[in-house]
Structure 1
């Protein structure tokens, strides 16, 4: 763990690792800094370090910006509606969003969850002058690729958010709180602002898409920020301990202690190839946990989560790899840690 956060240009300034099997937490470690830099200096290509006394260490209780791990929570909310019969996996989303241009296309809820809708990866909502313009941009969007072909897109979860909010007449943050975090006792999992969170990026153009300065406790993703911090694809903050509860709930088929958030028949398709909302058997970040049905996701800020039903294990890595500036993604450490866990469980 310390190797990930050591040196002048570490993989991440700060990181938290938590791994467990069944109800047992086997490893829980924190290393490095939740806040290490005051800014990024583009002239030198390095971060402007805070004085040692002003840095804030990463701890097991440090919340991190989950980035795309938010998609997993949106997926669970969607499956809760499927279980209740208010949403069908193969219903055209246009039936719920008739005022969206996508209503003219045969895109289904299932295609949103499997990233096979044909939608482009994202839209520049952060460049719109106001909420009305952002909504108009989303309403005008239609598939640019062939539906049925995999193409990862944040727009899938954004449109799913609109569907869920129209069905329930509640906002996504309320749906996540009432349906997941409150019954599971996940008290540190919330949409921002989250003042005590690990810092992310000195967000400025040209390397970023907006000029916001050093971010801490507000969502890193520019589109989620433009949408007020609550979005189907990004916006949640959480700690490793809370995510351990989420993982154990999935591994137990949707229940944790006396709480039940989803039935086993509705957890199963999320964790079974091709996965609904979850990526399944992706060796590039799951290492040797992949191959038997391990499922999870990564987040742009440096986060990842894997559950492996074959061994009843889970692995959570929270990091602020984008602090003080984003860089090309490197999932080598994620895969290496997953491989270590796989070998430990197998006794290699």
Structure 2
């Protein structure tokens, strides 16, 4: 067995037994010595993956416009917390803050926080955003006592899941153990007692993320207490379902997650039904749209036309960016925009979409 994270995990498994997929994901992403986000996150065309804010400035501008209109609908609270969780290299918040300058009073009222655990990404964010923002390692560290507008783009997909496989004998948990040569390998273990799983046919994989549900509950409780709205944009399902969605991305290619432990970005599909159910259990309201529906309602078509009028030479590029964000076979349908909000009002763009 080689060194690095794979060797570290192999030694851990040899001594303590197999890891759940959730434990494996957490180690791959956050191990302080070898974890992807702890040591080597690579965003953008020259990295491992591209997120919507890096596709086009239109995405961040429309998120900023959404935040400004939501703030107006909330009665222009002063102060309020403007929070981004998982802010990447800071591009989204940079676009948001540039856009909200057009909303008088917004920036002065906003107490801006970034929730980030990765030291390399914090350095990128600080370089892009300067000293006008503050950092926290968790949402719990962001002060309460004031309404909150929160955005999180491609955060849920990084939260760990456990995987269960329906066998002829019933449900078994998929785990990461060692093969005969001592290499990391998937296997099956007994499902822990008390695990609630749905009925399904043999061969089906079911993913369950306590971390995603816990975030939904935390957001719901805080928003009910202090007021506001949280916007979560990610790829995933908007209704309960089955399937193995674990994937590793390395230089824009899908690779074997076990062969590149700690070297690749490891993700799963967001389980929006579980997130919204947990938020509603705390008394919050929820709504969901596809990314294409959400951006269309915010006027991305009109914004693209305005950019083309200003820079006709950029029309082909803007058209490709718009297609990437909106097309059904690109990000438009697979990505969802989910809103968790305080009861009694519906944030902009989500009218008639409450769930």
TM-score over 0.5 (shorter chain):
no
TM-score with structure 2 length normalisation? Answer: 0.27
TM-score with structure 1 length normalisation? Answer: 0.28
Looking at CA atoms only, which structure, 1 or 2, has the larger radius of gyration? 2
